[in-house]
Chains A and B, each alone.
Chain A
Amino acid sequence: MTAETVTTPAPNGAEPPAIRYNFAYLDEQTKRMIRRAILKAIAIPGYQVPFAGREMPMPYGWGTGGVQVTAAILGACDVLKVIDQGSDDTTNAVAIRSFFETTAGVATTTRTADATVIQTRHRIPETPLKAGQVLVFQVPIPEPLRFLEPRETETRRLHGLGDYGLIHVKLYEDIARHGHIATTYAYPVTVNGRYVMDPSPIPKFDNPKMHMSPALQLFGAGREKRIYAVPPFTPVVPLDFEDHPFAVQHFAEPCALCGGQGVYLDEVILDDAGGRMFVCSDTDYCATRQGEGHTGRMSAPYAAPPATAATGAEPPIAASGSGDRP
């Protein structure tokens, strides 16, 4: 379609690939259509702009919306980081990163501070984002009212009227049933005092990072064909009640590898006897801290604690050991 193509570097001087794609895979008309949707999304913070989502060379549910947004905004000078649940090295992140290395030839990184565009599945990095960075979220269900009202015509009308009583009832039912708001991820937020928005299935731990963030936040839902945005320095307030204010999760112990506190931790099961550890979900943050010399309870050298671990009691920190890690 255009003169610009990106050639995959042929390994070992082999034949160049038979198929060449336009820069960043999408054709130029598709990019223009997505770019127009992005501009309108930024102008109406939190509103879901419909767009003609294309089929991508990956199944729905693997980030087709985020990939299309990234492909539309990516330039040759951008540095791309891709994370999946905070991790740079899981299947989804590796696949999408190599997709753009192949089709766009852009530089990639795992360092949050070095990236200009960060595509994410279900986390916001622990390192605070800077002005000029763009965070692209992969969104499965963009409509926060969808499980309460299945009809798209109705949910659009509810957004148009700003009628969000339904979702407050849902949070109230949480309180009636569990004694507290039991929603822990995809926690609905109000953007700039107007639109209620699904922040994608990030843990509610990450919701405060969206509030007045200096970075631009874009959301792409491929199957549902919606794009929405939160501009920098925009109020993003989680829904709550005066007597049940919004609160984030807290972790009883720090990261077992870097000792990080006040960060989101993953639970890792170690054996079938109740052994477990909590480590940073954000691999770049954890690796950076370890590189700076921070250590946690299970940092090498590490000796498995005596049997007390199986009873659930806090094991003593091993001063030294054989060095074999679980």
Chain B
Amino acid sequence: MTAFATGPAAGFIDPVHAAQRVFSALMRAMAEPGRVQPLASDLVPPAPLSPELAAVALALLDYETPVWLDAALAASPQVAAFLRFHTGAPVVADPGKARFAFFADGQSLPPFQAFAQGEPDNPDRSTTLVVAVARFEAEPLTLAGPGIDGTRGFGAVPLPVDFAARLEANGSAFPLGVDLILCAPGAVAALPRTVRPVAHPSVRA
């Protein structure tokens, strides 16, 4: 981290193909909700920005995408400098104005309603939440929806305790709602607004 004396940490070594590989993982993750895709990142961003969050930022952000940072990320001037230098994305304080929102900690997700939900005529104008988690698991959620052949077990640590209820509420507003990208070390999974948590088969009456 001595590089901060001279400037922000380096971006992708191979910007064109690295951005394509990150996008390809995101596209497949979004197309198959809850399925964990490998995501290799050679970035060494300033803490608390994880290498995977940084890879998603550099692959998707530019001057067209206002970005909102959670308290941990916003507290670090190096993170803001890193994102500003490599993407040029304006950092906004109002979560409702952000196209993307980044979270260093999945535990402290604010209510999804704080972010842009899209408009009935333009549901694509909603925020994409990019959340760092420690790891993925195959429970406790059972997901269904487009991109899932039947159901798929999914879980991530840490997430809010009421995460299933939030997903349910987010999906019930379809076509409005936010889309989530979850990043663990070396892996990514997505939960678009189409995904629905279903009761576990063993619980069903």
Contacts and interface: CB of A to CB of B under 8 A. Distances in A.
A42 B27 contact: yes
A43 B30 contact: yes
Contacts of A47: 123-124, 175
Nearest to B125: A40
A43 B122 contact: no
**A: contact size bracket:** 35 or more
Contacts, number: 127
Contacts of B61: 32
- Sorting the interface of chain B by its residue count into under 10, 10 to 19, 20 to 34 or 35 or more gives 35 or more
B23 A73 contact: yes
Contact of B124 (A22, A23, A37, A72): A37
A29 B17 contact: no
A39 B193 contact: no
Given A39-B179, A160-B120, A234-B146, A4 B14 contact: yes
B146 A192 contact: yes
A159 B24 CA distance: 29
A217 to B, nearest CB: 10
Interface in A149-170: 156-157, 159-161
Contact of A231 (B26, B147, B193): B147
Interface string B119-132: 11111101010000
B60 A32 contact: yes
A45 B146 CA distance: 8
Interface string B175-188: 10001000000000
B148 A73 contact: no
Contacts of A214: 149
Given A47-B175, A156-B121, A194-B175, A28 B16 contact: yes
B15 interface: yes
A156 to B, nearest CB: 4
Contacts of B194: 43-45, 192, 231
Interface in B94-152: 99, 119-124, 126, 128, 145-149
Interface in A202-229: 212, 214, 216, 229
Nearest to B149: A233
B20 interface: yes
Contacts of B15: 2-4, 28
B59 interface: yes
B147 A39 contact: no
Interface of B: 14-17, 19-21, 23-24, 26-28, 30-32, 59-62, 64-65, 99, 119-124, 126, 128, 145-149, 174-175, 179, 192-194
10 pairs of A and B residues whose beta carbons are closest in the complex: A43-B192, A160-B120, A4-B16, A234-B146, A231-B147, A40-B124, A156-B121, A160-B121, A233-B149, A231-B146
